[in-house]
Structure 1
């Protein structure tokens, strides 16, 4: 031990640093306030807790208590290189520097910290349990919001469940609850081996989460969650998947036909079918943003226009039909008109701001995660099933949404949990 590492070695770290990850997950549910949204750099409680995770992981790495997994370089290296190249070649380097730091935090530092802090199955179970706990808490609050008219406004009624995140980030609660739903689904499939009481408890939790997801009225999350949940069940057992889907169909009928938000759920569901031929204003704006992102990439194919520069180019490339902003309203924040700062598609955001270089780095990260899960496949392992479900959810959800708001750190933790299982660093 050198003189430089001796002071670090004197620092005390919890026996299970995974509890620090659980605390970080809990901080995501702290109401962010209106300053956490909009242009510029916003720092939330989750960001501060995420920084603490990175520092603890760095300390353990420097003192030799943990080792960097071999899969870390091919997973995170290309993404960092792509970020660096697009930042150097940016049309506005000053703006892109902040984006470089933010993207490195969310896609590299926090996930890698989670990989280093999760050492065995108990650690990974602690992380998954914290995600499940946050999801259930947000689901319960969201159901109360919808039942009492304290949610976000839709169709003139404040019945949309948004949890502690408020109307300024209407998709956040559905993403958090979606994570929890997939984790509980993975554990529910293997619940019979854990005792008779585990099955009804898991089913009650799934019902609560499902109701909250329905009342969140987030169509993109519904699609991503449906794809992820079906894949998880099919990988576990095809016959089980058929029976569960039949029960879910019956539950959907109940949710649509009863409750204060039932009509809104039915209308929102039918709008998914009409989104291709007769899109509403929200969907039409998304199509226009996607088209603008593609046009930006066509003019800047290799390195893009630089991280955080999409808003500066949006109006130049968007059609005249694009709205000037999205409207939100709830009892806490009131009426707010938010600017459209991204294409609402993570792949097109990378493509327009970082070009094919950045998208290749992004693809490398998820390619390594997919390959690692496939090599270490264990369909009867709930942690493996949860990893597959969460990764599928992210990949599909990125088609309709991108990273933003208080849930960025939570998504980074989820990627880290997937990486811990995919990299093979979790001891049995």
Structure 2
């Protein structure tokens, strides 16, 4: 059973054998002699870190077109860096699944009924995956990893602070985000610089996780206090979004953080706390939630609306969109209609109820089936499973050496789980402001691989 699981999760050391036999992999470094005479590329890691940081520094404030330009710059530098480097890039199980995911997307594009539109989506997806590849390589440096994450967290602090300000001073609602028949019809939902409360909620989930990790990693009480302020500000702003999906994803985030932190500290705890810590913590949190549910009317109304079915306008809209998407899947079950928003916008009107136009499937998983068929959907689930399995294995190694960078890994795993849960009911992380963060989380997990000794005596599970 263990051998089968290791094979499915790609945990065995055949990766090195593949690297040695791959003609494609041998292209890496074929301009290494030219690189030795280049003054600029002596600072390649710092340049790459600056480009990656720039994406996250500007993403909430600029247009998607400019984000695309930045991603093109990242892709160009990644190509230049790989053909000129003297060091072979590290290939992890996460890299292999992402490459397979890209191959399925390529096939879906080739067989798409709207090939030109799908090609646009394929190009965008490729840019995201190159961002992952470059980030996974650069994040192996503890200094540059902290630099990139700090850039994102400082930007998120500005975004969340503005969102909290909107809650207290009011802000014009840009759309009908609340059910007109609900007691909260006129309630303010903050959206900060992102223009949509659900999008803001998805953006803040990784920020909460990473700022929590920063409390333990950053040195000095000033830095730790700043990290604690970030956790509180991001959490408050997420609550003010009134995004039900983000609230539930926040619960998943907290649960995974607590479980992984317990795993990290378990063997250092007294026997009593090893047994009772988790029940006491989760019981206390459950009690606080019950008190909040009873005493905070807006929270209670929003959560109960989840179970209102079609009586809630937001639920009804999603259900109608999902019904149209199931019709698309019936016609394109295996490989889908091709990746990207453009392909969806050309195919969806043929199946939709005329009263419910939509730009996406309002579910990441349903969107995958629509765009890449059941094959792409299965590959996506496999990617998530391999990423989490790989992260837990690396966390075990880091725990043994008591390396505090393990808290960034804990945060990345928790953020991946929470974004994945949020994806059940929304597709906001197809937007570049969140999609880039999603691939950053996977890059953080993949970046810890190179310290494992891949030999026959290694213990894989």
TM-score interval, normalised by the smaller of the two chains: 0.7 to 0.9
Q: Which of 47, 51, 59 is the matching residue for 1:20?
A: 51
The aligned counterpart of 1:344 is 362
The 5-angstrom pairing of residues 203-352 of structure 1 reads 203-237=228-262, 239=277, 242-243=280-281, 246=284, 250=288, 264-272=298-306, 274-275=307-308, 277=309, 279-307=311-339, 308-318=342-352, 320=353, 323-325=355-357, 340-352=358-370
Residue 181 of structure 1 and its aligned partner are, at CA, apart by 0.7
Residue 384 of structure 1 and its aligned partner are, at CA, apart by 1.9
Q: Secondary structure at the match of 2:348?
A: helix
C-alpha distance in 2 between matches for 1:218 and 1:285: 15
C-alpha distance in 2 between matches for 1:359 and 1:375: 25
Residue 194 of structure 1 and its aligned partner are, at CA, apart by 5.8
Tell whether the 8 Å contact from 1:21 to 1:114 is kept in structure 2 after alignment. Answer: yes
Aligned CA-pair RMSD: 3.3
The aligned counterpart of 2:385 is 367
Which stretch shows the higher mean deviation, 174-183 or 263-272? 263-272
Q: Secondary structure at the match of 1:309?
A: helix
C-alpha distance in 2 between matches for 1:197 and 1:241: 33
Q: Which of 103, 106, 115 is the matching residue for 1:84?
A: 106
Residue 54 of structure 1 and its aligned partner are, at CA, apart by 2.4
C-alpha distance in 1 between matches for 2:380 and 2:173: 33
Residue 14 of structure 1 and its aligned partner are, at CA, apart by 5.4
C-alpha distance in 2 between matches for 1:50 and 1:207: 31
The aligned counterpart of 1:411 is 438
Residue 349 of structure 1 and its aligned partner are, at CA, apart by 1.1
C-alpha distance in 2 between matches for 1:176 and 1:425: 30
Tell whether the 8 Å contact from 2:32 to 2:84 is kept in structure 1 after alignment. Answer: no
- CA distance change for structure 1 residues 3 and 392 in 2, over 3 Å: closer, same or farther? closer
C-alpha distance in 2 between matches for 1:4 and 1:182: 39
Which stretch shows the higher mean deviation, 278-287 or 111-120? 278-287
Q: Which of 93, 105, 123 is the matching residue for 2:115?
A: 93
Residue 217 of structure 1 and its aligned partner are, at CA, apart by 1.1
Gaps spanning 5+ residues in structure 2: where?
Answer: 1-28, 179-183, 263-275, 454-461
Q: Secondary structure at the match of 1:400?
A: coil
- CA distance change for structure 1 residues 88 and 3 in 2, over 3 Å: closer, same or farther? closer
The aligned counterpart of 1:376 is 394
Higher helix share: 2
C-alpha distance in 2 between matches for 1:345 and 1:170: 16
The aligned counterpart of 1:40 is none
Tell whether the 8 Å contact from 1:347 to 1:359 is kept in structure 2 after alignment. Answer: yes
Length-normalised TM-score, structure 1: 0.79
Tell whether the 8 Å contact from 1:53 to 1:114 is kept in structure 2 after alignment. Answer: no
- CA distance change for structure 1 residues 11 and 202 in 2, over 3 Å: closer, same or farther? closer
Tell whether the 8 Å contact from 1:186 to 1:382 is kept in structure 2 after alignment. Answer: yes
Larger Rg: 2
Matched, 1:49 2:78: no
Tell whether the 8 Å contact from 1:30 to 1:164 is kept in structure 2 after alignment. Answer: yes
Gaps spanning 5+ residues in structure 1: where?
Answer: 37-42, 326-339
The aligned counterpart of 2:204 is 177
C-alpha distance in 1 between matches for 2:96 and 2:45: 30
Q: Which of 159, 162, 165 is the matching residue for 2:194?
A: 165
C-alpha distance in 1 between matches for 2:249 and 2:359: 22
The aligned counterpart of 1:358 is 376
Number of residue equivalences? 389
Residue 143 of structure 1 and its aligned partner are, at CA, apart by 0.6
